[in-house]
Amino acid sequence: CSAEEFFPRDIKVKWLKNSNPVPAESFHITPEVSNSPYHMSSTVQVNLSEADVRSELTCEVHHPTLAAPLTKTFALRQVLRVPPIVSVVAAPSGAVEVNETVNFTCRVRGFYPQAVTVSWLENGTGMNAGSSTQPTETSRGLFELNSTVTVRAEEEKRGSKITCLVVHEDQKPISDTAILRVIATTPGENEGLIGDSKSLIYVAVGVVCTVLALLVIAILYLIRTKQSKGEDKGTTCGAWGAAAEIGLHEPEKSSGTTTTQESDPNNLTYADLNFTKEKKKSVRRIIELSQQSEYACIQGSNSSSSSQPAANNDNLTYADLDMVHLSKAPRRPPPCPEESGSEYASVQIQRQ
């Protein structure tokens, strides 16, 4: 800020930025000789930012000969340069099929002044200029615009770099790049996809087979467990059925002598005959068995008054017998069904 041809020498200068005082860096008055007009110069330094697009700097001069201060205002936007922010986006953003079109939009934001040049490059080579909107001013006093270029997705263009290059005033160019993504259709890559699919199928089949095998094993285990329980039950029933034994004397069986008794169908008792010859049972063995059940020994006596003892106890044959009509004890559960190969004997009990 300078003032010319003033007298007297007494003069003051004030700097204001948007009505806020700013200290001056230098202040000079010339010449030093008295009784001649004077000259004054003052300098101030201001750091600019994008917020200073609408800022003003004012020089205010005070002198005794002036009724009011002299002012001079400077708009900082005359020297302000705000570089743009550049970004490129693709629509659609993901990979596309061959022969589909992709729109690349270059967004140029927050620049000042509004003069700007936008160009497009594909892999470093210039392409059509595309379509650009006119710069519009924002509420902050900055400008913005969009530029769009359309690219057809082709196999040979897969992975191409689409670049938006912005030149603003005399500043260094600013750019941003996006990649053209095209879905691969080459045989090799398709085979790779098919191979991955087959691998997934094999894994699924293996899992299913494993589950089926486990199910079969579980079913076989259950069947085997049931069979084991059935065998245990049969063994128990057989052991219970063998609790009662009847001795039949071999000579009496062969003689064919029969004893006349009342025929009572309700007193018929059936037993599974055990034809396996056993050794003569000791008294101790008989006592042990008597603790578990009751026994009936049929000697097959003749009609004579005297009873003949058994000729040979070794020829006794024992059979299992349900003692329901021979015992006063509580009725036992019926014996288990015998196998089809069993032989049965009917024993008639004469009531006294």
pLDDT digit string, tens, across residues 127-167 = 887 899 999 999 999 999 999 999 999 999 999 999 999 99
Rounded Cα gap, residues 101 and 151, in angstroms: 6
Q: Is residue 221 part of a domain?
A: yes
Q: Is residue 352 part of a domain?
A: no
Q: Is residue 175 part of a domain?
A: yes
Q: Is residue 281 part of a domain?
A: yes
Which regions of the chain are under pLDDT 70?
32-34, 186-198, 230-352
- Closest by CA position to 2, among listed 64, 78, 72: 72
Strand partners, 60: 14, 71
- CB-based contact 271:347 (threshold 8 Å): yes
DSSP 164: E
Question: Which of 47, 78, 109 delimits the end of a domain?
Answer: 78
pLDDT of residue 344: 55
pTM of the predicted model as reported, rounded to 2 decimal places: 0.49
pLDDT of residue 100: 93
pLDDT of residue 225: 85
- Closest by CA position to 4, among listed 34, 30, 32, 35: 30
Q: Is residue 164 part of a domain?
A: yes
**Residue recorded with tokens 């040049």:** 117
The parent domain of residue 207 ranges over 186-239
pLDDT of residue 18: 93
pLDDT of residue 161: 95
For residues 48 and 97, membership in a common domain is answered with no
Q: Is residue 156 part of a domain?
A: yes
For residues 217 and 253, membership in a common domain is answered with no
Strand partners, 222: none
pLDDT of residue 261: 41
Question: Which of 60, 78, 96 delimits the end of a domain?
Answer: 78
Domain count for the chain: 4
Rounded Cα gap, residues 44 and 57, in angstroms: 10
pLDDT of residue 30: 86
For residues 136 and 196, membership in a common domain is answered with no
pLDDT of residue 298: 45
For residues 250 and 343, membership in a common domain is answered with yes
Paired sense of beta strands 246-248 and 296-298, if any = parallel
Question: Which of 150, 179, 208 delimits the end of a domain?
Answer: 179
- CB-based contact 276:318 (threshold 8 Å): no
Taking only the tens place, the pLDDT of each residue in 270-308 is: 444 444 444 444 444 444 444 444 444 444 444 444 444
Q: Is residue 10 part of a domain?
A: yes
CA R_g for the chain = 61
Rounded Cα gap, residues 207 and 213, in angstroms: 10
Q: Which residues contact 21 (CB under 8 A, 6 or more apart)?
A: 14, 15
CATH number of the domain enclosing 142: 2.60.40.10
pLDDT of residue 334: 56
For residues 228 and 266, membership in a common domain is answered with no
Q: Is 100 exposed, middle or buried (0-12, 13-18, 19+ CB in 10 A)?
A: middle
Other CB atoms within a 10 A radius of the CB of residue 175 amount to 14
Q: Is residue 279 part of a domain?
A: yes
For residues 277 and 317, membership in a common domain is answered with yes
CA angle 80, 86, 90 (to 5 degrees): 160
**Residue recorded with tokens 């293996």:** 206
- CB-based contact 158:184 (threshold 8 Å): yes
- CB-based contact 21:59 (threshold 8 Å): no
Paired sense of beta strands 136-137 and 85-91, if any = unpaired
For residues 123 and 172, membership in a common domain is answered with yes
- Closest by CA position to 110, among listed 67, 131, 139: 139
